[in-house]
Every structure is written in C-alpha cells, then in structure tokens.
C-alpha cells in the first residue's frame, strides 16, 4: 500500500498539472486564440494526433505537460498570426492565463467536498490554538521518539494532577489565551521552581502547583536553531472534550463545509509561501545531518512519500486532503506576479493596460507593449532561484524526508 500510495499520489499530481494546461487550452480556444500543441509529459513523443489547429499527444517523461498558444507576447516568432494571444483584450488574456490556477481551485474544492460528503471531517469548532491540554507520561530529553524511554524525565504536570481536557487559564501571573502562549509561558519558568497553573475543569477553576524540569530545546519559531535550557512540564495540545473531533455531513451540508475548509487551507498556504525564504537554512541543515522541520516545504517527491505513508495507514481521506492542498498550493503559486509564472504574464498585461491609460490622460503617445526580451535576465534569475529551491527540497525529501510513520 505504501508503493501504491506513492504511485497514485504521483499520478494525481500529473493529472492535476495536465488539467492545468487543459484549462489554458480550453479558455484560449473558447476566445478564438490559436492553440497548436497540447501534450502530457516531456521528452520523446509516444503518441500524437492532429485535430483542427491542435496537435494532442503524450510524451515519454511524465513530469508535467505543456500547451502552446500562438503569440503569447508580441516578440514571439508567431506573433504575426491574426489569432495570436497578445492581440486579444487584456481581460481575455487574464482569464486564459489564470485558467490553470482556476482548474486547481476547482479540483481542490471537489476533493474537499467529496471527502466531507463521504468521510468524517475535522470539527471546525475545534481551534487547535485553544489552550486545552492533554498530559503525557514523560518529558523527552531528546524529542525524537514517540514512546517514553528510561532516559526521559517524569512529566511534572501529570504528577501534579493536571488532567487531559483541562483548559489552562493562567500560569503564574501570565494569562493564557492560546496554546502557543502556554508554551512560551512554561519555557520562561525557572526550572525546578514551583509555579501555579490555573486550569478550568468541569466549569470550575483549580490552581495546581507544578514544578517544571529543565531540558534543551531549540526556539519554537526556529526548530533547527541553537538549543538552550528551558522549562517543560509534559503537556501537549488537545481540544475541548465536549466537542467531537470529527463530524459527518451529507452531500448538501458538505458543500459549505468544503468551502470553509478550503478557505482555511488557502490561508495556510499563503502563510507557508510567505515563509519560504526563512525555511531555506532549515532545509540545508536537514540535508547536512540536522533535524528536519516538519513544517518545512516539500517537493513532489516528499508529497508523494507522505501519500504513500497515509495509504499504508489506510488514511485515504487524509490522502485526498493532501492532494487537494497541493492543488491549492500550485494554483496560488502560479499566480505570483513573477515571470515565467502565469501571474507574471497577468501582471505585465495589466501594467501595459494601466500605463496606456495614464499616457492617454497625459496626452502622450501610447508607449506600446512591454519588451519581454528586456525582462529575460529577471526571468532567468527567477527560474534559477526556483530551480535551486526545488533541488534543495527534493534532496531534503530524499536524504531526510518528513515522515508520519515512526
């Protein structure tokens, strides 16, 4: 099942990318643009067939796909064609260039909807940042395993009487609003000195005195950073025990649930993209023998491996959610306003439109189209950076992969 999960995940990614290109092709044809080629894969051609203006085919290296729309820029060799893309209004070009991402968003929604309608979904009423806790049996001296070892320390919170399902309201004089607040407050405590933990249990507040132990930990915001001695008590995040962890929905109820889940995933993907630069040192550290940050970026290789592990565990709903999230990521990433991404072409089209409007108001001659050749150094720089980042994540996923299995 592990191998089957990997193969199916890789196939799902290939299908998604192929449909992305089909989105470009379909919208371009609908507007009357000339599309000459649509291929799944790269490299040598295994099969092709010409229908109308377009050659459809399959190539030997199944690592994506491509579509050729005539005259995407005025500088293209085929830009003189009467149906060249650059001749069409900006709004039509925008739809064509964004169609690939729109396909990814539709796929993500359909997957979220399908999972919500056929399997239990995480309860949206549960906020993982709520300071509900569960007690553990030990504080790990080296946090690299699941079960307690003889070298680990007894958990002070459990010994003091804190129970799973308690909600931490205050530690010492520090009020706790979120789970991360609790972690910061605990780490700031002096090891070996008792502290008052005020918890809410069965609607009543209780004060429990807990004596933390000192352990070496990396900074929470930088898991690969230098370790220092901080306090720990043996608490992990939990949820309100009065709320069910998962909820089942019918086909109608699943639609708004899917939209909500998609929106929250959308926000998470944006935050992940913004953190890419700061994750590079951690990826390099993981390659050279350091600990892999479980929140670090993964490549197609890493995503496929995670899919294989989920399949091995029989967690097929989670497998589909990973594929849906990956579609959201690819869709958003392609809309970044950088060449050669789709978003770069959209940004240039609207820059031309706005510039022409401003020049007209100033009664100046239309400056015309942007010269893509002058942007080639920037384009190659972006390609080089993205290529290096891809190589870094692929290497990390091979040498030191993120795993959900122990």
Q: pLDDT digits over 236-261, tens only?
A: 999 888 888 888 899 999 999 999 98
What are the φ and ψ backbone dihedral angles of 91, each rounded to 5 degrees?
-65, -35
> The CATH number of the domain where 209 resides is what?
2.30.42.10
Provide the number of structural domains found in the chain.
2
pLDDT score for 405: 66
Which DSSP string corresponds to 198-238? EEEETTEEEEEEE--EEEEE--TT-TTS--EEEEE--EEE-
pLDDT score for 224: 67
319 and 394, same domain (yes or no): yes
270 and 173, same domain (yes or no): no
pLDDT score for 290: 80
Q: pLDDT digits over 25-78, tens only?
A: 999 999 999 999 999 999 999 999 999 999 999 999 988 899 999 999 999 999
314 and 351, same domain (yes or no): yes
Tell me how far apart the alpha carbons of residues 250 and 254 are, in angstroms, rounded to a whole number: 6
Residue 380, in any domain of the structure? yes
pLDDT at residue 24 tops 90: yes
pLDDT score for 282: 85
111 and 254, same domain (yes or no): yes
Residue 268, in any domain of the structure? yes
| Percent above pLDDT 90 for the chain | 70
259 and 218, same domain (yes or no): no
Which DSSP string corresponds to 33-74? --EEEEEEEEEEEEEEEEETTEEEEEEEEEEEEEEEETTSST
Instruction: Evaluate whether 211 touches 194 at the Cβ level (below 8 Å).
Output: yes
Residue 42, in any domain of the structure? no
Active-site annotation holder among 21, 205, 278, 315: 21
pLDDT score for 242: 83
Tell me how far apart the alpha carbons of residues 388 and 366 are, in angstroms, rounded to a whole number: 39
Residue 228 belongs to domain spanning? 133-237
| Local confidence band at 328 (pLDDT 50, 70, 90 cut-offs) | very high
112 and 214, same domain (yes or no): no
Q: What is the CA radius of gyration of the chain?
A: 26
Among the ranges given (24-38, 127-141, 278-292), the one the predictor scored with the smallest mean pLDDT: 278-292
21 as an active site residue: the answer is yes
pLDDT score for 175: 96
Residue 225, in any domain of the structure? yes
Residue 54, in any domain of the structure? no
192 and 285, same domain (yes or no): no
pLDDT score for 275: 84
Residue 142, in any domain of the structure? yes
317 and 212, same domain (yes or no): no
């Amino acid at each position: 099942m592990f191998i089957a999960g990997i193969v199916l995940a890789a196939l799902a990614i290939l299908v998604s990318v192929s449909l992305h290109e089909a989105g470009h092709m379909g919208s371009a044809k609908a507007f009357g643009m000339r599309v000459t080629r649509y291929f799944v894969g790269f490299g040598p051609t295994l099969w092709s067939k010409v229908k109308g203006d377009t050659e459809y085919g399959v190539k030997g290296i199944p690592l994506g796909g491509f579509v050729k729309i005539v005259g995407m820029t005025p500088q293209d060799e085929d830009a003189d064609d009467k149906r060249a893309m650059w001749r069409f209004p900006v709004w039509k070009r925008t739809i064509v260039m964004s169609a690939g991402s729109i396909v990814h968003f539709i796929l993500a929604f359909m997957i979220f909807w399908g999972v919500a309608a056929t399997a239990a979904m995480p309860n949206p009423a549960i906020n993982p940042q709520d300071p509900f806790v569960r007690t553990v049996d030990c504080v790990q001296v080296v946090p690299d395993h699941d079960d307690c070892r003889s070298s680990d320390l007894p958990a002070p919170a459990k010994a003091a009487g804190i129970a799973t399902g308690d909600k931490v309201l205050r530690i010492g004089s520090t009020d706790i609003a979120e789970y991360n607040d609790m972690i910061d407050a605990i780490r700031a405590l002096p090891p070996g000195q008792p502290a008052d933990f005020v918890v809410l249990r069965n609607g009543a507040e209780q004060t429990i005195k807990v004596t933390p132990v000192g352990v070496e930990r990396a900074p929470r915001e930088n898991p690969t950073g230098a370790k220092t001695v901080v306090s720990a008590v043996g608490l992990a995040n939990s949820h309100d025990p009065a709320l069910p962890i998962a909820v089942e929905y019918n086909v109608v109820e699943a639609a708004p649930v899917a939209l909500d889940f998609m929106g929250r995933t959308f926000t998470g993907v944006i935050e992940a993209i913004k953190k890419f630069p700061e994750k590079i040192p951690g990826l390099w550290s993981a390659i050279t023998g350091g600990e892999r940050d479980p929140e670090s970026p993964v490549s197609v290789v890493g995503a496929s491996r995670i899919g294989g592990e989920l399949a091995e565990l029989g967690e097929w709903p989670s497998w589909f959610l990973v594929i849906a999230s990956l579609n959201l990521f690819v869709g958003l990433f392609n809309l970044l306003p950088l060449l050669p991404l789709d978003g770069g072409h959209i940004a240039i089209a609207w820059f031309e439109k706005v510039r022409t409007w401003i020049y007209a108001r100033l009664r100046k001659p239309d400056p015309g189209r942007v010269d893509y050749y002058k942007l080639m150094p920037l384009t190659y720089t972006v390609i080089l950076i993205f290529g290096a980042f891809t190589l870094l994540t692929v290497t990390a996923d091979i040498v030191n992969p993120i795993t959900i299995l122990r």
